[in-house]
C-alpha cells in the first residue's frame, strides 16, 4: 500500500513530463489517425457549400497570439474553402491582434488559389468597441470601416462597391477566443438582422455555444483544434489542425489514464480505511 | 443580460436565395432584341424602428427572374427627388430579391424610386413609385416583449426592496463560498501570510468586475481588521484605481488608514497571458494564505488556480463565465457560480434593501421557468407563433 | 457630495441606456456610441495611471533591492524596448515593433496558453475522484466526452463520437442554459440595484 500512497501524492512535475512526451512524440512521428467529422462542423461546411460563387462572407478575427494554435487553423481552413468556391471574403477584427492572423490566412490561401487583394478579399482591420462595431457595421460598413488595415480608402477596392452593409453579406463567421466575438455576432447580426452566423472557438469555450447552435442561431460550430482538423478533412486539405490531432489524441488518452489511475488509488485507499 | 433568454428562444433564419452575380461576365455577343419583363408593383415604406434615414423599396419580381426567360441577374434601384426629374442609381439587389433598403435618405425629403431588372446588358423599363419620406420613430415596436419583461422584473425587484424596507424578514439560503470568506482571511492571518485578490481580466464596464469590487470591499475590511496585507494585481488601469479606492475606504472604516498601502494594488499589464504569468509569479513569491479569484475570467483561470493550489493557499473563486466554472470547481476550495457572485453583497451585508433585490430576481426566474414550460408546451402542440412573441425585435 | 454626484451620474447614464434600447429616435440613437467613446477615452487616460503605477512599483523595488529586483529590471527593459520600437519606427509590418511582436510576444503568449495542457492533466489527476454517485457520473461523462473529441476515441469504439455529441448537445446544453439564465438575471438585478443607487458599496465600501 505504501507504493499506492506514494503514487497518489506524486509530484505533479512527473505528470507534466509525461504530458510533454505525449505531445512531442506524436508531433515528431505522426500516427495519422483517421478523423471523424462531427455534425456541428459539417453544418458550417454545408452552409459554405450552399453559397454560390460570387457570394460574400464576413470573417471576424477575434483572437490573439495565445489562442492562435487553436483558432488560426480553423481560420485558414475556412478561407481556403471560400477561395476554392470563388466566394469573396471581407475580414474585420474585434481584437487588435486578430488583424495579423487574418492577413496571414489570406496570404497563404490567396497564393494557393490565385486570389487578389481588393477584388476577391479584403482586410478592413481592427476597430475598438466590440458590440458597437458589429451594430454599426450592420448598418453601414463604409462608415464603420472607412479604410482597410493599411489605411487605404475602401472606395478604391472593387470588392467593396457591392457591399454596403450586412444586407449584402451572405454568411458571417467569427473566429473567437472570448469577448468580444461570437456572442456579439449572435446578438446583433443574427438576433437583429437575421444573418447566418457560424463560429470557430477554442475547445474550452465550445460547450457554451451549443445552446445557440441548438436554437438555430449558429449555422455551425468548430471547437478547438479538433474542429479545425475536421474542417480540413471536409475540404480535403490537411493543415495545422490535422497534424495536431495525433498529439491531442495521445494527450487525452494519457489524461484519462491518469484519472483512472488516481481513482484506482482512491478506491484502494478507501477500502483500506 | 436576460435578453439572452429571449435570444435563445428565437431562431430566425434568413433564407435568401443567392444567385450568382459574377458569372454574368460571360456576355453574349448576340444583339438583344427582347428585353426582360420589368419588376412590378413598386411601393415604398419608411424603414421601421430606426433613427430615420431609411426607406425600404419593395417590388414584385420580374417575370423573367427565376422563371420565363430566366435572364434577370440583378435589380438596379434608382432614386430621384421629383417624379419626372433625374434619377440616379442608389443600389443593386440580387435576382430573387424583392426589397432594397436605402439608408442614405434625408428625413422629410420626398423620394421617388424606380426599380429596373438587369440582364447583364440592358435594363427593363420601370415605373416610378409614389413619393416616400423617411422618419425616425419614438418607440421600437419590435421590443414590446422586452419592455414588458423589463417592467415586470424591475417591478418585482423594487416591490421586494420596499417590502424589505418595511421590515419584512427575507430568507437567503447559505452560500458556502461566501460563508468561507471570513474564515479564509482569518486563516491567512493565523499563518502570517498576505491575501491575494484577483479581480479578473475584464474592465470596469463589465458587471462581473463591479460585483468583484463590491466583494473586495468586504474582504479588504476584514483584512484591515486583522491587519493582514492584501495584494490586488489588476489587468486594467481603471480597475486598479477602483480597487485602490475600495481598499483605502475599507482601511479607513476599520480605523487603520495608516496601514493602507496603495502599492499593494498594482497594475500588471493589459495582456491576458502576460497578466497570468505576472500573477503566477506573485503567487509563488508571496505565497499568500488565501486567494480570491472573483470577476470575469477566460483561459487563464486554470493557470492561476492550479498555481495557487500548489502554494497550499485556501482558494475561493467566482465568475459568471460558464466555460471557466469547471476549472475553478476543480482547483479551488469554494466556487461561486454566476449569480451567487452577484448575490454576494446582499449576502455578506444582510442589508434588507439588497436582500429585497435578490428576492425580486428569484421571482423573475420563476416567471422565466413558467414561460419556458408554456413555450415548450405550445411549440410541441404546433403553435410556433409564440417564438415570434418573444423575439427581441430587429 | 462625494457620493451623490457619482450616484446621479450612474442613475442618469443607466436610465438613458435603458431608454435608448426602446427609443430609436434622436437624441437617443447616438447615445450608446457616445458613451462608449467616452469610456474608451477615459480608459486611455487611466492607462497612463496604470503605467505610472507599474513603473513606480518596480523602480522602488530595484532601488531598495527587494527580493526579485532583477526581474524588475527585465520588466523595465522590455517596457523601454517596446516603447522605443513603437514610438520611433511605428508598428507597421517589418518594423522592429512588429518583429518583436511576432518573435517574442506571440511565442511567449502561446507558451502560457500551452501550460493549460499540463495544468489540466494535474488538476484532473487530483480532482476527478469517484467520491459520490454524482462525481462518478461526472467522471464517466468527462471520459466519454474527452475520448469522443479525438480520433483515438473512434478507433476504440465507432459509436463514441455520437455519445460525445449527445452529451454535449443535451445534458451539457441544458445545464449551460440554466446557468446562463441565472447569470443573466443576476446581471439584471445587480444593474438595477446599481442604477437605482441601492447598491453603493462599489463607490466606497459601505
pLDDT digits (tens, 9 = 90+) for A7-33: 667 777 888 899 899 989 988 888 888
| DSSP strands (E only) in chain B | 40-46, 55-60, 74-80, 88-94, 99-102, 112-118, 195-200, 230-234, 265-267, 290-296, 314-319, 334-337
| Closest by Cβ to B19, choosing from A52, A165, A205 | A52
A107 in the same domain as A13? no
CATH number of residue B279's parent domain: 3.40.50
Mutate to test the interface with B, among C47, C114, C173, C184 (most CBs of B within 10 A): C184
Contacts of A54 in chain B (CB under 8 A): 20-23
Our count of domains for chain B comes to 2
A87 in the same domain as A57? yes
Among residues B87, B102, B118, which one ends one of the domains?
B118
Which residue did the predictor score with more confidence, B296 or C106? Answer: B296
B295 in the same domain as B188? yes
Contact map slice: A 62-121 vs C, CB within 8 A: 64-69, 100
pLDDT at A247 over 70: yes
What is the rounded CA–CA span in Å between residue A95 and residue A125? 9
Provide the pLDDT confidence category of residue B77 given band limits of 50, 70 and 90.
very high
A141 in the same domain as A221? yes
Residue C43 half-sphere exposure toward CB, CA atoms < 13 A: 15
pLDDT, residue B237, reads: 87
Predicted confidence (pLDDT) per residue in B92-118, tens digit: 887 888 888 888 899 989 999 999 999
pTM: 0.79
pLDDT, residue A92, reads: 95
Query: Grid cell 511605428 — which residue?
Result: C90
Q: How many residues does chain C have?
A: 206
Nearest residue in chain C measured CA to CA from A149: C92
Residue A31 half-sphere exposure toward CB, CA atoms < 13 A: 19
Task: Answer for the pair C165, C159: CB distance below 8 angstroms, yes or no.
Answer: no
| Domain ranges, residue A256 | 2-30+248-272
Task: Answer for the pair B298, B315: CB distance below 8 angstroms, yes or no.
Answer: no
pLDDT, residue B2, reads: 38
Provide the pLDDT confidence category of residue B166 given band limits of 50, 70 and 90.
confident
| Closest by Cβ to C151, choosing from A20, A33, A39 | A33
A218 in the same domain as A253? no
Predicted confidence (pLDDT) per residue in B264-322, tens digit: 999 998 888 889 999 999 999 999 999 999 999 988 999 999 999 989 999 999 998 88
B327 in the same domain as B207? yes
Exposure pattern of B214-253 as b/e (b: 16+ CB <10 Å)?
bbbbbbbbbbbbeebbbbbbbbbbbbbbbbbbbbbbbbeb
Mutate to test the interface with A, among B3, B8, B208, B302 (most CBs of A within 10 A): B8
A150 in the same domain as A123? yes
Pairing of strands B99-102, B55-60: antiparallel
A102 in the same domain as A62? yes
Residues with Cβ within 8 Å of A92's Cβ and at least 6 positions away in sequence, in order, are A58, A59, A60, A61, A123, A124, A125, A126, A127, A133, A137, A145
Contacts of A263 in chain C (CB under 8 A): 128-130, 139
B180 in the same domain as B113? no
A174 in the same domain as A115? yes
A63 in the same domain as A163? yes
Residue A120 in any domain: the answer is yes
Q: What is the DSSP string of A193-235?
A: T---EEEEE-TTTGGGGHHHHHTTS-S-EEEHHHHHHHHHHHT
Question: Does the beta carbon of C150 lie under 8 angstroms from any beta carbon of chain A?
Answer: yes
Quick one: DSSP state of residue C2? T
A259 in the same domain as A231? no
A158 in the same domain as A69? yes
pLDDT at B29 over 60: no
**What ipTM was estimated for this complex?**
0.83
| DSSP strands (E only) in C126-199 | none
Residue B98 in any domain: the answer is yes
Handedness of CA C117, C121, C127, C131 (dihedral sign): positive
Nearest residue in chain A measured CA to CA from B320: A208
Across chain A, mean pLDDT equals 88
Say whether C181 and B4 touch across the interface (CB within 8 A).
yes
Residue A203 in any domain: the answer is yes
CATH number of residue B101's parent domain: 2.60.40.10
Torsions phi, psi for B142 (to 5 deg): -70, -10
B183 in the same domain as B36? no
Residue A243 in any domain: the answer is no
Torsions phi, psi for A97 (to 5 deg): -75, -20
Contact map slice: A 231-260 vs C, CB within 8 A: 245-246, 248-256, 258-260
How many Å lie between the alpha carbon of C123 and the closest alpha carbon of chain B?
6
B203 in the same domain as B92? no
| Domain ranges, residue B82 | 31-118
Could you tell me how many helices (H) and strands (E) chain C has, helices first? Answer: 10, 0
Q: How many CB pairs under 8 A join A and B?
A: 78
> Dihedral of the CA atoms C70, C75, C76, C82 (nearest 10)?
150
Counting residues of chain A whose pLDDT is more than 90, the rounded percentage is 43
Mean pLDDT value of segment B211-220: 90
B332 in the same domain as B183? yes
What is the rounded CA–CA span in Å between residue B29 and residue A30? 56
Among residues B103, B118, B133, which one ends one of the domains?
B118
Across chain B, mean pLDDT equals 84
A268 in the same domain as A208? no
Q: Element (H or E) spanning C38, and its range?
A: helix C31-63
pLDDT at A160 over 80: yes
Amino acid at each position: 500500500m505504501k507504493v499506492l500512497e506514494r503514487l497518489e501524492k506524486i509530484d505533479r512535475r512527473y505528470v507534466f513530463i509525461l504530458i510533454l512526451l505525449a505531445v512531442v512524440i506524436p508531433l515528431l512521428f505522426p500516427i495519422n489517425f483517421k478523423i471523424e467529422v462531427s455534425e456541428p462542423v459539417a453544418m458550417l461546411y454545408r452552409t459554405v457549400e450552399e453559397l454560390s460563387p460570387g457570394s460574400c462572407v464576413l470573417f471576424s478575427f477575434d483572437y490573439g497570439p495565445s489562442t492562435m494554435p487553436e483558432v488560426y487553423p480553423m481560420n485558414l481552413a475556412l478561407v481556403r474553402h471560400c477561395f476554392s468556391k470563388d466566394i469573396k471574403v471581407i475580414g474585420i477584427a474585434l481584437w487588435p491582434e486578430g488583424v495579423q492572423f487574418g492577413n496571414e490566412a489570406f496570404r497563404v490561401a490567396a497564393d494557393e488559389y490565385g486570389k487578389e487583394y481588393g477584388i476577391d478579399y479584403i482586410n478592413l482591420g481592427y476597430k475598438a468597441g466590440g458590440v458597437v462595431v458589429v451594430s454599426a457595421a450592420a448598418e453601414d460598413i463604409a462608415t464603420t470601416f472607412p479604410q482597410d488595415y493599411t489605411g487605404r480608402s475602401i472606395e478604391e477596392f472593387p470588392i467593396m462597391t457591392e457591399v454596403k452593409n450586412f444586407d449584402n453579406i451572405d454568411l458571417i463567421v467569427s473566429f473567437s477566443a472570448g469577448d468580444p466575438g461570437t456572442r456579439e455576432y449572435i446578438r446583433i447580426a443574427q438576433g437583429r438582422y437575421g444573418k447566418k452566423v457560424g463560429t470557430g472557438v477554442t475547445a474550452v469555450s465550445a460547450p457554451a455555444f451549443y445552446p445557440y447552435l441548438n436554437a438555430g442561431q449558429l449555422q455551425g460550430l468548430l471547437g478547438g483544434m479538433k474542429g479545425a482538423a475536421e474542417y480540413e478533412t471536409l475540404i480535403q486539405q490537411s493543415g495545422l489542425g490535422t497534424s495536431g490531432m495525433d498529439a491531442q489524441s495521445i494527450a487525452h488518452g494519457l489524461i484519462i489514464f491518469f484519472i483512472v489511475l488516481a481513482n484506482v488509488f482512491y478506491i484502494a485507499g478507501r477500502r483500506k480505511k | 443580460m436576460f435578453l439572452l433568454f429571449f435570444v435563445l428562444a428565437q431562431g430566425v433564419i434568413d433564407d435568401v436565395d443567392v444567385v450568382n452575380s459574377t458569372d454574368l461576365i460571360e456576355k453574349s455577343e448576340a444583339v438583344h432584341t427582347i428585353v426582360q419583363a420589368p419588376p412590378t408593383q413598386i411601393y415604398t415604406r419608411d424603414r421601421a424602428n430606426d433613427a430615420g434615414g431609411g426607406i425600404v423599396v419593395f417590388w414584385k419580381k420580374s417575370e423573367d427572374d427565376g422563371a420565363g426567360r430566366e435572364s434577370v441577374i440583378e435589380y438596379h434601384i434608382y432614386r430621384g427627388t421629383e417624379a419626372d426629374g433625374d434619377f440616379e442609381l442608389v443600389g443593386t439587389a440580387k435576382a430573387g430579391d424583392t426589397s432594397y433598403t436605402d439608408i442614405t435618405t434625408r428625413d422629410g425629403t420626398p423620394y421617388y424610386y424606380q426599380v429596373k431588372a438587369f440582364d447583364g446588358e440592358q435594363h427593363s423599363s420601370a415605373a416610378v413609385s409614389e413619393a416616400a419620406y423617411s422618419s425616425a420613430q419614438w418607440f421600437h415596436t419590435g421590443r414590446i416583449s422586452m419592455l414588458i419583461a423589463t417592467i415586470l422584473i424591475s417591478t418585482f425587484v423594487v416591490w421586494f426592496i420596499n417590502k424589505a424596507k418595511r421590515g419584512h424578514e427575507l430568507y437567503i439560503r447559505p452560500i458556502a463560498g461566501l460563508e468561507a470568506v471570513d474564515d479564509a482571511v482569518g486563516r491567512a492571518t493565523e499563518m502570517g501570510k498576505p491575501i491575494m485578490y484577483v479581480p479578473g481580466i475584464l474592465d470596469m464596464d463589465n458587471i462581473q468586475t463591479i460585483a468583484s469590487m463590491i466583494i473586495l470591499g468586504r474582504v479588504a475590511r476584514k483584512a484591515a481588521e486583522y491587519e493582514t496585507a492584501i495584494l490586488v494585481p489588476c489587468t486594467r488601469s481603471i480597475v486598479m484605481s477602483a480597487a485602490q479606492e475600495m481598499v483605502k475606504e475599507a482601511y479607513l472604516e476599520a480605523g487603520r488608514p495608516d496601514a493602507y498601502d496603495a502599492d499593494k494594488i498594482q497594475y500588471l499589464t493589459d495582456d491576458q497571458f502576460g497578466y497570468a504569468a505576472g500573477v503566477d509569479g506573485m503567487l509563488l513569491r508571496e505565497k499568500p494564505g488565501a486567494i480570491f479569484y472573483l470577476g470575469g475570467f477566460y483561459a487563464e483561470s486554470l493557470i492561476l488556480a492550479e498555481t495557487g493550489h500548489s502554494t497550499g493557499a485556501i482558494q475561493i473563486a467566482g465568475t459568471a463565465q460558464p466555460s471557466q466554472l469547471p476549472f475553478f470547481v476543480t482547483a479551488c476550495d469554494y466556487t461561486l457560480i454566476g449569480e451567487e457572485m452577484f448575490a454576494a453583497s446582499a449576502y455578506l451585508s444582510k442589508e434588507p434593501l439588497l436582500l429585497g433585490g435578490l428576492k425580486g430576481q428569484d421571482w423573475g426566474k420563476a416567471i422565466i421557468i413558467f414561460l419556458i414550460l408554456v413555450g415548450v408546451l405550445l411549440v410541441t402542440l404546433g403553435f410556433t407563433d409564440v417564438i415570434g412573441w418573444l423575439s427581441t425585435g430587429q | 457630495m462625494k457620493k451623490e454626484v457619482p450616484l446621479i451620474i450612474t442613475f442618469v447614464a443607466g436610465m438613458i441606456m435603458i431608454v435608448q434600447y426602446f427609443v430609436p429616435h434622436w437624441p437617443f440613437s447616438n447615445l450608446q456610441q457616445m458613451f462608449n467613446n467616452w469610456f474608451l477615452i477615459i480608459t486611455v487616460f487611466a492607462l497612463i495611471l496604470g503605467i505610472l503605477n507599474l513603473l513606480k512599483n518596480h523602480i522602488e523595488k530595484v532601488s531598495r533591492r527587494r527580493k526579485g529586483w532583477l526581474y524588475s529590471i527585465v520588466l523595465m527593459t522590455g517596457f523601454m524596448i517596446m516603447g522605443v520600437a513603437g514610438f520611433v519606427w511605428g508598428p507597421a509590418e517589418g518594423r522592429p515593433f512588429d518583429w518583436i511582436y511576432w518573435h517574442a510576444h506571440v511565442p511567449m503568449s502561446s507558451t502560457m496558453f500551452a501550460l493549460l495542457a499540463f495544468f489540466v492533466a494535474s488538476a484532473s489527476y487530483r480532482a476527478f475522484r469517484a467520491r459520490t454517485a454524482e462525481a462518478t457520473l461526472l467522471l464517466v461523462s468527462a471520459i466519454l466526452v474527452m475520448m469522443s473529441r479525438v480520433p483515438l476515441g473512434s478507433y476504440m469504439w465507432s459509436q463514441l463520437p455520437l455519445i460525445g455529441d449527445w452529451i454535449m448537445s443535451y445534458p451539457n446544453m441544458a445545464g449551460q442554459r440554466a446557468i446562463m439564465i441565472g447569470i443573466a438575471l443576476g446581471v439584471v438585478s445587480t444593474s438595477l440595484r446599481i442604477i437605482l443607487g441601492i447598491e453603493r458599496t462599489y463607490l466606497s465600501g459601505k
